[in-house]
Amino acid sequence: MFITFEGGEGTGKSTQVKLLAERLRAEGKVVVTTREPGGTPDAEALRNLLVSGDVARWTANEELLLNFAARGSHVRNVIVPALVANKIVICDRFVDSSYVYQCVAGNARESLFAELVRALAGDTTPKFTFILDIEAQLAMSRAASRNGNQSSGTRADRYELKGPAFHQKVRQGFAELAKRHPNRCHLIDANGPAEQVAARIWAKLNG
């Protein structure tokens, strides 16, 4: 089973990936957790190109190409082998993020996106997609707080620096995606403690 988590910056995706994996493992399931862009050494190198540098370093079309180059390696070397072995794969971001970030918020060509999906993701489609939703300004405050924590070793990346209007478009884009794909995409209220959000996700997964 393939499960993905989506949403804007600071919505808590990484935390919820970890909590869901722990709960499934406690039930005896074999779970692989991974992320995009990334998941393989080559894909992580491309991730560094995407998230570092000036905000205007790449156009939205160029970001699409880099994301899907990383995704091709990730799907081929991590996701598909794990699914063939009947493992549960939980991924922090997948194709939906490319559509929302690059096409909806960044005005990349949707025809290019569709061709890249066919060429590099193929029929690898999540069974469940949980879209974590909170007000964009609050999400960015969370991200800033995380990056300001010296012990975390993180700093703001290119996407976190793109500004309020961009991140509002991202939130709206994910909400529209959930409406278009109600059987796969589940919009989750990401407000409140992480354990409460995890309970909402668990209820949807079992429903």
Counting as low any pLDDT under 70, the low residues of the chain are 143-156
pLDDT at site 146: 63
CB atoms within 10 A of CB 175: 14
d(CA 30, CA 55): 39
Which pLDDT score, from 0 to 100, does residue 158 have? 87
Record: fold of 2-206? Rossmann fold (3.40.50)
Listed by start position, the domains of the chain span 2-206
Res 152: pLDDT: 43
CA atoms of 132 and 185, how far apart (whole Å): 10
Structure tokens at 94: 């997948």
Provide the greatest CA pair distance for the chain.
46
- Give buried/exposed letters for 33-71 (b at 16+ CB in 10 A, else e): bbbbbbbbeebeebbebbbeeeeeebebeebbbbbbbbb
CB atoms within 10 A of CB 184: 15
pLDDT for the residue numbered 155: 56
